[in-house]
Structure 1
């Protein structure tokens, strides 16, 4: 958690660090007085947050607690100091309670505090702290004795170390006394965020990591400072640490007990996609690192002794990225919250409330925005809830009576106050245009940008860039309706990023056909089919589906880990050529010499710089730590190439039937799934958000860069295959007509595999294929049964000639709202043209026994659950059906389900049902797939009706 906290602190209300060279004085600016962008189009949240104890401030506080019989709060600072102050609104100063660093050698950080239930008589307090990382006993819980007096002071000489476990990141270290009088201690997986569960401890109850521990501090077993309670669930499990009470937790940073039921609730900081709230019970297994919530991560054969219990709540990273477990509200000041569990998120600063009746959850309800980094919750003796800000202040919830009604948020672009003249985008006084050095790919669209700061406010760039409330950045995307003719530009959308109480929120406005105004797009986004004149398209016209992003999609890219603002930053802004009006927005004139971001389109730059910049621009906002990319790849160009974890890395989210595939196969684009993904449309296309079309110049750039990398494994075979592909391409390039007799053999060879097809696509991109041959290739591609090959050529067809399909943004309710035909669904299941379910599953003996038998699947899942399983196959992977990738010492590669593994070797079953035995001496590596072997987005190429037919057929299998 420490790394998460300190890393996120860099983005709390800022964009980036300013250049260390002192800039010049600020210029005079024109105020922006017409802004109407304030609040939110959503209904007002029921609560807001207000500061309490305004005279107090702390340095990196991480925990807040009270002591039985005391009227004081105790605050733990990350740096090792613990302070206390009276629970009095006028409290003016905090008193030192204990300074760990000053009294205990080697203390690095402090995390938690808990007072003994009988503290008033025994004066015991328990503190969780860590020494430097990498020590076998570096994480500790110690007992101290509190000396009587006012203010109270803990005696550092009284320390008694009770329990230790390894330090190294994800330490957990929340401590709470339960209603049974036992001390509960949370521990993380003891490592950094990536690779996930590096110590493979999540499912191992033979150590104390990734668990909730339960100990009796009032008695002691021989040689220990505590006793293991006799009813601990693994007390008699061979090889288990008896202190373990529950396990399978990644970084259980905060936890608390429900005073009504005595149940323990834990907030578990997630990995790449989900933030989790668990109701934790004795002996429970909460999945890490087999799963992250319901998402498969490391589905290996080693699992704990109990089945995985899914979370009560799982928030996607579009809503939360660092969950902070909360408290049950038992106070009297906010009666509507009585009995609710209130929790929050460090990064998004959102607060939620939920209720649980023992069987089901009501909520969670989004109740407030904190506007700061939530780090902990506490209750005073009266049960009133307090929220701790990592920035040093304390807060509480109050009813929201001041929120701007949602109907005042601008529904039209002309109502925002950004423009003096909306039809021609003439900015209002004080709204300033700006440009950036390097533009991301936007499906042929071009962008114009503006920034507005309300009134005469400025960006504080003395050190970090701090923006005033209600700052607005605007970007208008326009598309040529006749390719190559600038005068045909049509404005499609204007995106706003609005800075509101510490959060950047994204909104999209859709321009009307008359180009006079734009209206606010609904929260879920929208789509529009455009007709574009294109001389390069068959028939001279093409249809392009334009997606207007949802608000959650906006924050997927503009996330805090990526810096939220992707273009308005020191490296991207053209400050040296910017007008004085832009420079005047800064408190101090920004230095134009800040490291310039390279433009991938600049031919004067070297190929590697251009390619790395391209991946950074288009991919790195998601493919970085904590930003939601479900793979290990990191694409920021600030990393060395080795640090990106792409070169010679085995793909974890599918190989697309490419033999010996790598994310980047050095010297061999055809074996590189990165290149495959940016070369295709539809399922598996990257980038996944923001674009749907292939960027051909970018595709060529990445191809040529990969070719320059020193060849890795498979290099000799690649040279021979590449030569064969090149000979086929030469023959096609010399063909004057596209008859089967002249082009049949080379086309068949180039359609024989995704790797060969990539070579053909690259030649088509570069204009090496004559027009008659091109048309013949597309006719052949349209009949290709291998979807991995066919998908590469789909983009060359006019959209009007493609099947009308669900596409990438599937709405389950639309499918479930249709009445399916089970007989037609059976045809879909067993047909060659659809998802080809029968190739992996059997129904009543028909099909291939690769995945689970589905003969009775309708007994297990209803229609909605069946559809969910199809759409998100990695949520729940049936035991025994996790996939594995095996590499041999002679550089052969196998993938499939693990049938047998022992000292003699391994047996893998492939998707055809064939079992392959590999002797132990041949095995170089064997690693589990993070994702299900069942591909995601199987329904993208189907119609809504066919999808409903398939679901209803599966529902009949009882």
Structure 2
């Protein structure tokens, strides 16, 4: 153990109290089994030290004593009455409906991580789709296409060890119809980027000649990210190549401004000629051609971080690029000969490291930028020159890979921006835009489908006007000021909450009429259209409230604004277009909440016996919500078997038309079943689970489970990482490696002993997790840091001290790596 990390080997976690830094012993009602195997709650006199990290809330009081046999499904002593559906229609529209919506262009075709769509320019009416793993598919450009041919398979040489590596680019020679040449960009090992020429088979136009590969460029890469990979032929017949700055984070080698390296640049080469010692030629009119000081003549433009993607306007010849930002800003650039686009002196329009060495005198501004509340990773697009959407003729489409937002950008004759507006919210991980031979626009997404845009029907202005601007208008509460839930709202709690700077949370599920949830024992549950998830966030208003244990607070207590300050209520709505998040900000009187149109930060106070802690509270935008509620995670994060398989410490009112009861459970009545069993008995599930909670997967309770063995600590840590990180760190997610899913064996998670892909906060030798060395583990540093590379990356200004301590202890345990959990059961 290093000097920078000190933690006692405790047999039980010694967490901080609510909103404070030191541990306080409190009552804890927690589930256990009797000798007969039945689940019950401890009596209040059973004391233990438990965590005080500000957490989740149970919908009703939890201080109960005594145990009784749980009612069997269908028995007259069932813990709840009939389930009353909720009326959710008020929030199924949109406060900002956009004029375009996506539709699947080839609904019968699905690909594995597609990231390029193009055509051969030969008039054949074919479409080519690139898969990151190393395949290129070809098929007829028809909506009813139901099969593809493998045009090229180079999986044997393509490296996908890191998230941004793979087969990344495809470009057909302008004279492909005559010479059959096409070019690809891919990652390989030893770590390098390859630009190669291939030829089509002489006997089959839908098959490339695998043996025809001719490597034109091999560019060593220091890290596994920021590979660029976009290749395009310009109207001049030359090949343009986008290269990232080499990776890690913050351009550690200063490649963006260094003209002696190809990294952080856009290159321009002639593939039809060869210069001595090269497999290509450098055009003589390249801005740095012919220099003898080591400057690379291939460079066309520089000062770029990680271009994703390049595109030429087929009408004007303008070269557009989307450049992915570091921490705050994404940008769109118009690329010109010899241009310096500022990285890493600037990010977007803003200083980043202004003291870094600069090459040249003039930095070229981006056309537009957007801040991180709109998206996290730009996907450069294309200028629309098709016929399906004539009103968008000449508009440049671009999007965001994380949030799925799409914008259009227009320039005047002097290349000045005259329009930049959001036109669609897709909810998809947009990996690339492409066009067919006719100029019609498509985009690929990591759900595996190819999409195009269509006009959104309906009265958009009327839809916007009808959307509720106040929480009291949503129908989610019968009495908003009293926090009395509306009819049909099912309260629920989770075993391992998402860290939200210590806020208490009250959660409800609203299901529409005649709809049910598709249960899965291990994967995400599927929720019907019309579903609404309601979550209210609170901070204690008094020192006494700040010391309360999270498992002992009733809904009636929480509804008292003198004790608990309401910050915001978030709705996650499954509307006809997909899932969308909304934030309602509570007013100072605590009587109602207003819909937030963007994002904002306010300073809040956390009281304690020692004084007050002031820290920023971030209210997320709609795009922020979808940065975590990702397609790879199934959009809904907290409602799954592992999270909800816990005691149902609340009851449902038997009277029609009423919502959840605020009455604490009787100490003499039947013990309520698990939440899942109760929901099954209420008819919430399609294909409901069989058996009892003992047969179903579960996480340990984050607030009460002991952490007195290495195995117990590992299960808790894996549960925490699954709940807090796996919405992005999952094979089909935004950042596929490491894999933080609960079921992934630790030896396959690419976590222990793996190099960080986004730079280091810790020492130069640090790994993502270095066994027995928290100080040398990036995971530990990211959790204890607040700043550009913090984890979680959004909406957090306070460190989860309990998680930092537990993860640190787990890393110390890893001197001999234990087996990963396979899914603990009660």
| Interval containing the TM-score (normalised by the shorter chain) | 0.5 to 0.7
Equivalent position of 1:216 in the other structure? 270
Match of 2:402 among 347, 350, 357: 347
Q: Which runs of no fewer than 5 residues in structure 1 stay unpaired?
A: 1-25, 651-663, 667-671, 679-684, 711-958
1:555 partner SS: helix
Task: Give how far 1:40 is off.
Answer: 5.2
Q: 2:580 and 2:543 mapped to 1: Cα distance?
A: 34
1:248-297 CA distance string (max 9 Å, x none): 32322321112343221112233333322221122222233444334555
Aligned 1:731-750 pairs, distance under 5 A: none
Following superposition, the deviation at residue 595 of structure 1 comes to 6.4
Say if 2:584 is the partner of 1:508: yes
The residue aligned with 2:658 is none
Instruction: Say if 1:436 and 1:511 are closer, same or farther in 2 by CA, change over 3 A.
Output: farther
- Assess, with a 3 A threshold, how the Cα gap between structure 1 residues 228 and 317 changes in structure 2: closer, same or farther: same
1:202 is paired with a residue whose SS is helix
Q: Give the C-alpha shift of residue 367 in structure 1.
A: 0.3
Tell me how far apart the structure 2 counterparts of residues 243 and 414 of structure 1 sit (CA, whole Å): 61
Q: How does 1:81-230 map to 2 (within 5 A)?
A: 81-101=135-155, 109-120=166-177, 122-136=178-192, 138-145=193-200, 147=202, 152-166=206-220, 168-191=224-247, 194-197=248-251, 200-230=254-284
Q: Does the 8 Å contact 2:261/2:295 carry over to 1?
A: yes
Per-residue CA deviation, residues 116-156 of structure 1 (Å, 9 max, x unaligned), is 22222x233323143534345x522213145376x543333
Q: Distance in 2 between matches of 1:311 and 1:54?
A: 36
Which whole-Å deviations, capped at 9, do the CAs of 1:546-588 have from their partners, x for residues lacking one?
9682526953984659967665466654535425344645766
Deviates more, 1:54-63 or 1:316-325: 54-63
On the 8 A contact 2:121/2:172 being kept in 1, the answer is yes
Is structure 2 residue 338 aligned with structure 1 residue 286?
no
The reply to whether residue 596 of structure 1 matches residue 703 of structure 2 is: no
Write out aligned runs for 1:614-625 (5 A): none
Cα distance in 1 for residues equivalent to 2:364 and 2:274: 32
Distance in 1 (CA, whole Å) between partners of 2:375 and 2:184 is 26
Post-superposition CA distance 1:206-226 (Å, at most 9, x none): 233222111112222234332
1:580 counterpart SS class = helix
CA distance in structure 1 between the aligned counterparts of 2:448 and 2:500, rounded to whole angstroms: 41
- Of 307, 310, 315, 1:255 maps to 310
Q: Deviations over 1:856-910 (max 9, x none)?
A: xxxxxxxxxxxxxxxxxxxxxxxxxxxxxxxxxxxxxxxxxxxxxxxxxxxxxxx
After TM superposition, the structure 1 = structure 2 runs for residues 307-706 of structure 1, keeping only pairs within 5 Å, are 307-357=362-412, 358-402=414-458, 405-419=463-477, 425-428=483-486, 430-437=488-495, 446-454=504-512, 455-459=514-518, 461=520, 464-465=523-524, 467-468=526-527, 469-478=529-538, 483-484=543-544, 486=557, 488-489=562-563, 492=566, 493-499=568-574, 501=577, 503-510=579-586, 513=589, 515=591, 518-524=593-599, 549-551=619-621, 555=625, 558=628, 560=630, 567-568=638-639, 572-573=643-644, 575=646, 577-578=674-675, 580-582=677-679, 584-585=684-685, 589=689, 594=697, 596=699, 599=702
Give the distance between the partners of 2:306 and 2:761, measured in 1 at CA. Answer: 29
Aligned to 1:272: 327
Q: Please list the CA deviations of residues 173-226 of structure 1 after superposition, one character each: whole Å capped at 9, or x if unmatched.
A: 2221101111111222344xx344355533333233222111112222234332
Per-residue deviation at 1:624?
Answer: 9.4
Say which of 27, 43, 47 aligns to 2:96. Answer: 43
The C-alpha deviation readout for 1:426-485, integer Å capped at 9, x for no partner, is 545553211134567878864321123444232553663154344322122456655537
Give CA deviations for 1:659-695 in whole Å, capped at 9, x if unaligned. xxxxx999xxxxx9999989xxxxxx99998688x89
- Partner SS, residue 256 of structure 2: coil
Greater relative CO (CA pairs within 8 A, separation 6+): 2
**What's the secondary structure of 2:188's corresponding residue?**
coil
Partner in structure 2 of residue 879 of structure 1? none
Deviation at 1:346, TM superposition (A): 1.9
Residue of structure 1 in register with 2:295 after alignment: 240
Taking the aligned partners of 2:112 and 2:201, their CA distance within structure 1 comes to 23
Is the CA contact 1:144–1:160 (under 8 Å) kept in the aligned structure 2?
Answer: no
Relative distance call for 1:163 and 1:444 in structure 2 (3 A) is closer
Shift of residue 33, structure 1, vs aligned partner: 4.7
Please state whether the residue corresponding to 1:406 is helix, strand or coil.
helix
| Structure-2 change in CA distance of 1:579 and 1:98 (3 Å) | closer
**Judging changes above 3 Å, is the alpha-carbon distance between structure 1 residues 232 and 592 closer, same or farther for their aligned structure 2 residues?**
farther
Asked if structure 2 preserves the Cα contact closer than 8 Å seen for 1:600 and 1:609, the reply is no
Task: Report what 2:130 is aligned to.
Answer: 76
Shift of the 690–61 alpha-carbon distance from structure 1 to 2, 3 Å rule, reads closer
Q: Give me the whole-angstrom Cα distance separating, in 1, the residues matched to 2:448 and 2:360.
A: 42
Shift of 1:353: 0.4
For the Cα contact (< 8 Å) 2:699–2:719, is it kept in 1? Answer: no
Matches of 2:430 and 2:255 in 1, distance apart?
28
Q: CA separation in 1, counterparts of 2:87 and 2:727?
A: 38
8 Å CA contact retained: 2:628, 2:728: no
1:736-775 equivalences under 5 Å are none
Task: Sort the Cα spacing of 1:190 and 1:421 in 2 relative to 1 into closer, same or farther, 3 A.
Answer: same
CA distance in 2, matches of 1:95, 1:444: 53
Structure 2 Cα separation of the partners of residues 87 and 330 of structure 1: 17
CA 1:363–1:592: 2 relative to 1, 3 Å = farther
- Of 279-288 and 467-476, deviating more is 467-476
**Larger Cα-atom Rg:** 1
CA contact (8 A) 1:412 1:520 kept: yes
Distance apart, 1:50 and its partner CA: 1.7
Q: In structure 2, what is the Cα distance between the partners aligned to 1:674 and 1:62?
A: 31
Residues 115 and 129, structure 2, Cα contact 8 Å, conserved in 1: yes
Q: Structure 1 427/133 Cα, relative in aligned 2: closer, same or farther at 3 Å? A: farther
Q: Distance in 2 between matches of 1:609 and 1:107?
A: 34
Residues 412 and 509, structure 1, Cα contact 8 Å, conserved in 2: no
Contact 1:39 1:403 in 2 (8 A): no
What is the Cα deviation at residue 306 of structure 1? 6.0
Once superposed, what is the RMSD of the aligned Cα atoms? 5.1
The verdict on how the C-alpha distance between 1:301 and 1:397 changes in structure 2, with shifts beyond 3 A counting, is closer
Change beyond 3 A, Cα 1:95–1:211: same
> C-alpha separation between the residues in 1 aligned to 2:470 and 2:208?
60
Q: Secondary structure, in 3 states, of the residue corresponding to 1:464?
A: coil
Asked whether the equivalents of residues 157 and 188 of structure 2 are also in contact (C-alpha less than 8 Å), the reply is no
The residue number in structure 1 matching 2:663 is none
> In 2, are the aligned partners of 1:419 and 1:425 still within 8 Å (CA)?
yes
TM superposition shift of 1:48:
1.2
Structure 1 38/514 Cα, relative in aligned 2: closer, same or farther at 3 Å? closer
Question: Unmatched 5+ residue regions in structure 2?
Answer: 1-72, 75-80, 161-165, 546-556, 648-673, 765-773, 813-826
Distance 1:439 1:88 in 2: 46
More helix by share: 1
Mean CA deviation greater in 550-559 or 492-501: 550-559
Give, in angstroms, the shift of residue 376 of structure 1.
Answer: 1.9
Query: Take 2:727 and 2:146, find their aligned partners in 1: how far apart are those partners?
Result: 46
Other-structure match for 1:722: none
Flag the 1:261–1:204 CA change in 2: closer, same or farther, 3 A: same
